[in-house]
Structure 1
Amino acid sequence: MKWLAVKKKISYFLSSEFFTDALRTTISIILPVWTLFALGKPQIAVTVGVGTLLASLTEASGTSNDKKTGSLVSIILFFFAALVTSFCWPYPWLMGIVMFIFCLGFSMLSALGNRFSIIGTTAIALCIFIIGLKPHNGFEFSAYLLTGGICYYIISLIQVWLWPFRSLRQAVAECVNATALYMKARTSFYNYNIPLENCYHNIIPLHTLVNEKQEAVRDLLLRDKLAMHPDNKNGQRLLKIATQVIDLYERITTVHFDYQHFRKEFGFTGALEIVSRLVEIMALELEQASHAFYLNRKNQPDLHTNEIEYLESRLNYVIEKESPANALLLHGLKQNIDDINSRIQQLKTMLYGEDQLPVAEDEALTYESLLTYQPQTFTQLKSHFSLKSPVFRFSLRLTIACVFGYCLGQILPLGNYSYWIMLTVIIVMKPAYSITKTRNKQRLVGTLIGVGVGLLLLATIQSATVLIAISLVFLLGFYTFYRSRFVLGVMFITPMVMITLHIYSGRQTVFIIERVYDTLIGCGIALAASYVFPVWEKHGLSDNIKEVLKANYAYLESLYEQLTGQQPAFNDYKLLRKNVYTKLANFSAAFQRLLQEPHKAEVSIERLQRFQALNHQLYGSVASLILHDANSQHNVQNQALTAEALHNLQSCISTTDEPPPDSLYNQDSSIEPAGTQFRNILNITAELKHLYAELEKR
């Protein structure tokens, strides 16, 4: 079974977008370079190869229009940057001024989105490469560079034309897989040996991952006119799958109880182990389905059918032996599990391409409203030229660091490869201090391991042909991992560069020492520059907290409206749900960055962790009532408890002390019995109110 699992992972990896794109990119670089070398034009081969390599670094997932726009902008920008730099590099002071302007201008493109951010950073890298290559004929060099870029983009666009939904399939498969991981992590709630605080601490990062994958699917799917066209069967199928998996995630989240009470009541009955295993099996089936979908395989045999039937019979036996109250609780849990399982089976049918049913008309959505990212135009770019803009502050940091690295290379005798300092700076430096710090470690670790591997290969292998073949494998490894696992990308590219320069320089090794100390200097500059015009997470912490509370308030308000007989519009409910997902994920990501900043001691980590856990509990409880119980619990007391819970949240997000709707919480509690979950929601919001007051004091 272990070998089968390994085989599946290998198969999935070899078919993944990361590897297949890496293989296509590597071939796109090798073929023209090899051809030109064979024709006896080594200088042209190197220039075309650099152009192809840099063009490949700008590629990111997106729609066909995204890729066309990115290709056009890259070609124009790269040619302009290459032309200017090629004529200015012999004049150090002039080149310093050009580097300042280009670094500041190109890095500001990040205000237009991630794709343009990558293009801007790569354009800076192009200028640095030109400083290192020192071309003598600027126009000819730029033309060959342009040729390499155009060749790569032509191949890339042909691939998009042949397989228009390839990136989207990858995104959907990753979203389903992330949902399976989240579901598997929730089994810990049924293990009384694991503290509940640890359970929430473990699932919160996975919620962030799921939200990230859902956003990627929305971005690729809802902006793709071809996929969203009603007559496009493949696009509509992917739309159905995306809708189903997002709804499934909500159902998984709503399996929420007072787990402390649940563990106490059923810790010795075997129910906890049964439920945990049922959830684990469903997560495994979901994971298997995601892999099969991406590999475009048909229906896979269910390996757990007999075990599920056995576990269900055991759970039914436990229910029969329990008290009426406990039996009712377990029966409700079993219904939730059955509902989730049926949804997984339906999703599997869709993933295997066997479901051709149209999307229900009553579930029509204004899909554009679900898009989080709204791209900015070039006319809006000027509004970011202010110290209040995080984009401008980062651009200044990067510019100062790069120019400092350039001046250092001009003043000190750092060798022929001192431009590696600037390359390290632009690779390592990121807008957030925490990411820069992490990249620094990864760059250093990857470089040192890569140097060790490179030295071992150069010492044991003398054949240039074998070394070149190995360097091509390393190049493939770099393109496979540099986006997803940066440290592995560095580990692959370092020995590849060492082998190439070793052969190109006539088997000299002095550049290896330069590679190490240039990397150390570059990492040091990047880390020091992080303290220049910084944007610390602690300053935005209060806003992030309020955004989470506002999102949960709006979601809880929709429950109150349902209790009072109002039915929220389908589209409005989806937006409220998405808003809670996004705000919780944003807070979690900001909190993780805060933990790596030097000022983390100034905030209460324990209180923030509790704040996270409470908000996840609140969302799960509210969602559970909206989807399952609210329609049958329209009594006055439940309305009163919900109203008071709203008041608790309102006191946190507003300076006015507004009473809850109709002051229902003042009514006599003996009128009608209140549901346990409603009292639980009130308790959660009361603790949040107290916790918020404590955090504000800090």
Structure 2
Amino acid sequence: MSTLSLKKRFHRIYIKIIRFMSGEHSGDALRNVSISILPGLAIYLLGAHAGTAIGIGVGSLLTTLTDPPGNRKDKLSSALVCIPTFFIASLFTALVFPYHWPLVILLGLAGFVCTLYGIFGPRYAAIGNMTLILMSFVIGMAPQHPFAVSLQITAGSIIYYFFSLLQAYIRPYRSLKHAMANGFHGLSQFLLIRSQSYDPDIPLDITYSRVGKIHGQISEQQEQIRSLLFREKKIISQQWHKSNYWLSQVYGLIDLHELIIALDHDYDAIRKNLADTGSLPLIRHSIKLLALEIDSFSQPTKRFRYAHQLYHNNIKINAILLDLKRIQEQQTGAAKNILSSIIINIEAIIEVLHRIQVAFYQNQEIQDKIDTSEYQQFINRPLRNLTDIKNRLHLNNPLFRFALRMALLFGSGALIGVLFLDFKYTYWILLTIAIVARPAFSMTKTRNIERIVGTFSGIIVGILCLISIHFLPALLLIAAIGLFGFFLFNRSNYMVSVIFITWGIVIALNLFEGNINLILGSRILFTLIGALLAIVGYFLIPVRQSTGLVQLAKEVSLYNHHYFQIIHNRLLDGRKSSFDIRLARKKAQTAMALFSDAINQMKKEPEQKWIDWSHIHYFQALSYRINSHLVGLSISLSKKTNCDTAHEIHSRIDALRPLLTDLNQIAESIHLKKI
């Protein structure tokens, strides 16, 4: 490996580290550690009993994990639900703790009810899950004074949300800023994966699989951005001087996603038609340069550092476009048309990048924007009324089945704790179940592996620290670093976060309780029991992706057909509003992302080896192909300078009709055929 390539590799690693440390989770980790430790420590130093400080610390610590990124309204809603839930759950657990069989029943009911919090959305699902973890901690605390313990935990929860809400009101658009940065970075990675489709050496089934995986991530990122932005009345009602800046950034981000999707046509035909033209390497190079430019928008505060580099990128891209146009002029038939479409798309991406760049420095009015009253339709709302709740409480609903499984698992975990009363740390069984048990088998299996590997690795690190370091303040500092590392990696890499929290627990418990052998033995034994129960629970009450795959396939066909109808109607009536076409595109691409995610989850289930995947993959590839053509048509309708003639557009529409018919027929007949 040359010195230059090694230097580039280290530079890429350095950039990744800087990007990671400057993310929202880094600041949240520092805030969470401070709020978890300092209030309890201050109360203890003021003369309070150690148990009081621990109770407040536990309340603050667990509350931090109920507060994912969001705006002021999100955090206030979480506080209003989390604080009373924690009070009631801790009080009932502490009251019932001395009575073994009522405790088993209570934990079983809690497993069911708290899991159903997920009906109201991911934010409330986090509160429900952390309530189960809280109840496990209360059991571990062996409370003698139930009401006092409940008040301590509630006080810790109140303290945390006070500072969280204070931060949200001081910096109301912090989460939106980080979500936008993640959105641009995600699109750049999406574009890099797209470039692989123009490489004949990479099989198309691999590229489609990679596209499907990252498409779900991109869809989630854009859904978060829409949720954060379109619920901010001050921005969407243009009551703020920076409203146009935020809206133009979001419009630019979504338009870039649209243009990247439009690059996806029939790659098999593209490879065959362009194989001998010499254009494929040029296309890949230009796409990689565009990805680099898009990535520069993920760090707006450092954008001036990229100015010199991006200037040279633009020169390179323009030179590549000239070469591609030269090659295009020498071609005929399909190759000429394909190159023309790709060149137009690359130029459109450059135009959007320029528009975003200008909007960053100038507060320009947005062209072709939707009306303020229409923004709400782009936000997904889990529930609208009581009827929606009733419609989800049945055995065919994955969340309802998972709630039944959690009731069984928590009841079983509590029963094991009752049967082994001589062991002090049996509540770690419940903790492991609450942490690793997930609806899908693949997620449960992955969490199990990560927790077991992370636990053993963390124990080794903790033992080495205890053997080599005997200075108390240094050990406390290392334990605090473990807590910080847990918060830092909790969203991005669960196994690493387990390593950090395990060494923190091992050191802290040894300092405060001693008996390291009992701590290590219990941590290993009860973690393994909890992990085993989580796996067994899946087979007893399975939640298989296959049950919803057929319906998702029908939705993919339905929303793509609706998208087609909107485009066709737009062509006929000549309306200028982009609302209906943007909403149709969003619904179609969300359905495709959910379908791709279901496939990825199914492939990790035990029965996947007996399924014939060929027809499912064909449906997925066809849906991406149709959607890319639809996006291309919508771009042609909205860009007058790049618009095809009406005859050519109608020809493209006529060519899409049989493909949509095929998609619908496959969706109606798709089934999980066994090999």
Query: Is the contact between residue 438 and residue 444 of structure 2 (CA under 8 Å) also seen in structure 1?
Result: yes
Q: 1:345 and 1:517, CA in 2 relative to 1: closer, same or farther beyond 3 A?
A: same
Residue in structure 2 matched with residue 174 of structure 1 by the alignment: 182
Q: Match for 1:340 among 335, 339, 349?
A: 349
Residue in structure 1 matched with residue 371 of structure 2 by the alignment: 364
Matched, 1:551 2:559: yes
Matched, 1:444 2:452: yes
Matched, 1:570 2:584: no
Q: Match for 1:603 among 604, 611, 630?
A: 611
Q: 1:528 and 1:462, CA in 2 relative to 1: closer, same or farther beyond 3 A?
A: same
Matched, 1:9 2:9: no
Residues in 2 aligned to 1:693 and 1:29: alpha-carbon distance in whole angstroms: 51
Query: Is the contact between residue 611 and residue 673 of structure 2 (CA under 8 Å) also seen in structure 1?
Result: no
User: In the TM superposition, what whole-angstrom CA distance separates every residue of 1:477-527 from its partner, at most 9, and x where no partner exists?
Assistant: 101111222111111111110000010113533211110110000001111
The two structures, once aligned, show a CA RMSD in angstroms of 2.7
Residue in structure 2 matched with residue 411 of structure 1 by the alignment: 419
Residue in structure 2 matched with residue 25 of structure 1 by the alignment: 32
Secondary structure of the corresponding residue to residue 531 of structure 1: helix
Deviates more, 1:504-513 or 1:319-328: 319-328
Task: Return the letter of the residue paired with 1:84.
Answer: F
User: In the TM superposition, what whole-angstrom CA distance separates every residue of 1:292-327 from its partner, at most 9, and x where no partner exists?
Assistant: 35x687874324234334433433443455558755
Alignment of 1:37-436 (within 5 A): 37-40=44-47, 41-292=49-300, 300-301=307-308, 302=310, 303-319=312-328, 321-322=330-331, 326-327=335-336, 329-350=338-359, 353-360=360-367, 363-364=370-371, 366-376=374-384, 381=389, 384-412=392-420, 415-436=423-444
Residues in 2 aligned to 1:634 and 1:328: alpha-carbon distance in whole angstroms: 12
Q: Match for 2:646 among 615, 625, 632?
A: 632
User: In the TM superposition, what whole-angstrom CA distance separates every residue of 1:443-479 from its partner, at most 9, and x where no partner exists?
Assistant: 1121121112222222222222211111111110101
Structure 1: tracts of 5 or more residues without a match: 655-691
Deviates more, 1:298-307 or 1:440-449: 298-307
Q: Match for 1:585 among 581, 586, 593?
A: 593
Task: Return the letter of the residue paired with 1:267.
Answer: A
Q: 1:557 and 1:377, CA in 2 relative to 1: closer, same or farther beyond 3 A?
A: closer
Task: Return the letter of the residue paired with 2:42.
Answer: T
Matched, 1:516 2:524: yes
Residues in 1 aligned to 2:81 and 2:573: alpha-carbon distance in whole angstroms: 54
Q: 1:426 and 1:616, CA in 2 relative to 1: closer, same or farther beyond 3 A?
A: same
Task: Return the letter of the residue paired with 2:353.
Answer: I
Query: Is the contact between residue 558 and residue 568 of structure 1 (CA under 8 Å) also seen in structure 2?
Result: no
Deviation at 1:647, TM superposition (A): 4.0
Task: Return the letter of the residue paired with 1:337.
Answer: I
Deviates more, 1:589-598 or 1:95-104: 95-104
Structure 2: tracts of 5 or more residues without a match: 1-7, 637-642
Deviation at 1:697, TM superposition (A): 9.4
Residues in 1 aligned to 2:658 and 2:277: alpha-carbon distance in whole angstroms: 37
User: In the TM superposition, what whole-angstrom CA distance separates every residue of 1:242-262 from its partner, at most 9, and x where no partner exists?
Assistant: 122111111121124443444
Deviates more, 1:618-627 or 1:283-292: 618-627
Query: Is the contact between residue 622 and residue 663 of structure 2 (CA under 8 Å) also seen in structure 1?
Result: no
Matched, 1:460 2:474: no
Residues in 2 aligned to 1:457 and 1:466: alpha-carbon distance in whole angstroms: 10
Residue in structure 2 matched with residue 686 of structure 1 by the alignment: none
Task: Return the letter of the residue paired with 2:214.
Answer: L
Tell which has more relative contact order, 1 or 2 (C-alpha 8 A, sep 6+): 2
Task: Return the letter of the residue paired with 1:519.
Answer: T
Residues in 1 aligned to 2:443 and 2:283: alpha-carbon distance in whole angstroms: 39
Deviation at 1:695, TM superposition (A): 6.1
Secondary structure of the corresponding residue to residue 633 of structure 1: helix
Task: Return the letter of the residue paired with 2:586.
Answer: K
Query: Is the contact between residue 110 and residue 116 of structure 1 (CA under 8 Å) also seen in structure 2?
Result: yes
Q: TM-score, normalised by structure 1?
A: 0.88
Residues in 2 aligned to 1:37 and 1:572: alpha-carbon distance in whole angstroms: 59
Q: 1:509 and 1:555, CA in 2 relative to 1: closer, same or farther beyond 3 A?
A: same
Query: Is the contact between residue 563 and residue 631 of structure 1 (CA under 8 Å) also seen in structure 2?
Result: no
Deviation at 1:42, TM superposition (A): 1.9
Residues in 1 aligned to 2:328 and 2:667: alpha-carbon distance in whole angstroms: 43
Deviates more, 1:320-329 or 1:503-512: 320-329
Q: 1:650 and 1:51, CA in 2 relative to 1: closer, same or farther beyond 3 A?
A: closer
Residues in 2 aligned to 1:403 and 1:330: alpha-carbon distance in whole angstroms: 62
Deviation at 1:586, TM superposition (A): 0.6
| Identity within the alignment, % | 29
Q: 1:568 and 1:693, CA in 2 relative to 1: closer, same or farther beyond 3 A?
A: farther
Secondary structure of the corresponding residue to residue 139 of structure 2: helix
Deviates more, 1:339-348 or 1:212-221: 339-348
Q: 1:422 and 1:311, CA in 2 relative to 1: closer, same or farther beyond 3 A?
A: same
Secondary structure of the corresponding residue to residue 60 of structure 1: coil
User: In the TM superposition, what whole-angstrom CA distance separates every residue of 1:224-256 from its partner, at most 9, and x where no partner exists?
Assistant: 333333112334422221122111111121124
Q: TM-score, normalised by structure 2?
A: 0.91
Deviation at 1:627, TM superposition (A): 2.4
Deviation at 1:644, TM superposition (A): 4.0
Secondary structure of the corresponding residue to residue 55 of structure 1: helix
Task: Return the letter of the residue paired with 1:342.
Answer: E
Residues in 2 aligned to 1:110 and 1:104: alpha-carbon distance in whole angstroms: 11
Q: 1:203 and 1:451, CA in 2 relative to 1: closer, same or farther beyond 3 A?
A: same
Query: Is the contact between residue 230 and residue 375 of structure 2 (CA under 8 Å) also seen in structure 1?
Result: yes
